[in-house]
Structure 1
């Protein structure tokens, strides 16, 4: 039987242990991890995957692009795709820092909790300039929501909004929010509030969201206390709090891991699949 080989191209110096474990749990027979991968050196690695097997055996080779930096991962992923031609290709997946699977799980569960339709609802992603926040913003905007991302610096936040539009073809608003008072103002009138900030910072206190009548659901991607949104629990999975629904990082983590494992398995079903944000979110909606 042809072995299912997963080649992990990591932009960090050392390949992610987390991604290796999930790769095996997803069905790979063997994982070869390479650190320090860049668009300049990835070509030789790709050539090794596409010229060694033919016919039905080719689907048993796949590429996973990871690392802590989504921008670097995107550059490597694009370089991988450009290396392919004709039948000389293998299936690929991009999930730097778990950003695609995490955002897909969070948005899919939030949309499901609100009845499957967020068209014309207002969504605000607090600290939305990082990869998870940017992915979440794009997915929500594609669902028809009116989306804004916040950040401490307007220039950086606008740059993130522009990057979302360039890559995903949707517009999101950039809001400068340097302190909690500004973040409270940003979520005024919002229906969905996501927190995508760094570990160790509460972005919105319980008092500043529990009293906002428009909010229907709050979603926090941070599993370590203090959480980004005060007054919820990391284990919350559409739990009612103050007349609203709460979704915590561990509450959505089950779907995130299941999604990651399922995608690894799907890599080996054919030799021409590409799983980036859009494809990963589509699967998350099916699985939610």
Structure 2
């Protein structure tokens, strides 16, 4: 009887994401085993139970997916699987907490493409603001942009200390160079946008972050990307399907273009599917986090 493919889905939260379960089934895994309330100290034993119960042929059809909402904990869990494996008992591992890694990778790749095609610039030439910058997608977006050379600012809507703490924590962890800022009011946003080239809008769904009046004051804006697909859009005037479409409200930044949530979401969907499929198709185990996700996303835009 041929071995069936199994994906063990480790999640520190009370429930696994239905989104990830659907994606894994559609990518070709035969059996999904969700585990909730998983702690970091559980990872070694769970990993070894998953690998030592299958023959070498079965090992090639076994994978581990790490979810949750904490992007740092997800990396810790991913790293904890590595010493638990003993060749040839090694399996592929994919971390994507709350879809943060694949969403951030898709967002930065789409904005990077628009920046190059419309303005002839690279991320390393630019200052980037990440609104909603202290959430999982925002932090992952900031890390990716910073590692690509952008002068990156994580913007929180309540506390500069929260933003600075997040920037410092993940700078240490991933050798990034982010800073923090707060934007409680439209005036705060206008001040931050005065010398910004790029906006990444990663705030909660259904929250308008940048309205027309704020956008009208920008003079240096080149590309703005939004991941909020729930009306109203995070950036006024940027429609969900826009891909490098002129921003009608950024009247003082006449070449500014927007990237909408569904344009990003389409790349995110393709990206997660392709990464899940790679776990089944690769001859050797693959280890996937936001870095591998961004590299793959660049090839999809």
- Structures share fold, TM-score greater than 0.5: yes
Q: 2:134 aligns with which of 115, 118, 129?
A: 129
Residue equivalent to 2:170? 164
Residue equivalent to 1:273? 286
Distance 2:161 2:88 in 1: 43
Between 275-284 and 54-63, report the one with greater CA deviation: 54-63
The answer to whether structure 1 residue 212 and structure 2 residue 213 are counterparts is: no
CA-based RMSD: 1.7
Distance 1:9 1:154 in 2: 33
Distance 1:232 1:207 in 2: 14
| Correspondence 1:171-210 to 2 at 5 A | 171-210=177-216
Structure 1 alignment gaps of length 5 or more: none
Structure 2 alignment gaps of length 5 or more: 249-254
Post-superposition Cα deviations, 1:132-171, rounded to whole Å, max 9, x if no partner, equal 1111111111221111111121111111101221222111
> Aligned pair count?
288
Residue equivalent to 2:262? 250
Give 1:123 deviation, angstroms: 0.8
Q: TM-score of the superposition, structure 1-length normalised? A: 0.94
Q: 1:147 aligns with which of 149, 152, 155?
A: 152
Partner of 1:255, secondary structure, is helix
Partner of 1:41, secondary structure, is helix
Distance 2:209 2:62 in 1: 43
Give 1:56 deviation, angstroms: 4.3
User: Does the Cα contact within 8 Å between 1:37 and 1:76 map onto a contact in 2?
Assistant: no
Q: 2:233 aligns with which of 224, 227, 230?
A: 227
Q: TM-score of the superposition, structure 2-length normalised? A: 0.90
Distance 1:130 1:214, change over 3 A: same
Distance 1:12 1:38 in 2: 9
Distance 1:82 1:178, change over 3 A: farther
Between 121-130 and 193-202, report the one with greater CA deviation: 193-202
Give 1:181 deviation, angstroms: 1.3
Partner of 1:87, secondary structure, is coil
Partner of 1:155, secondary structure, is helix
Distance 2:91 2:239 in 1: 41
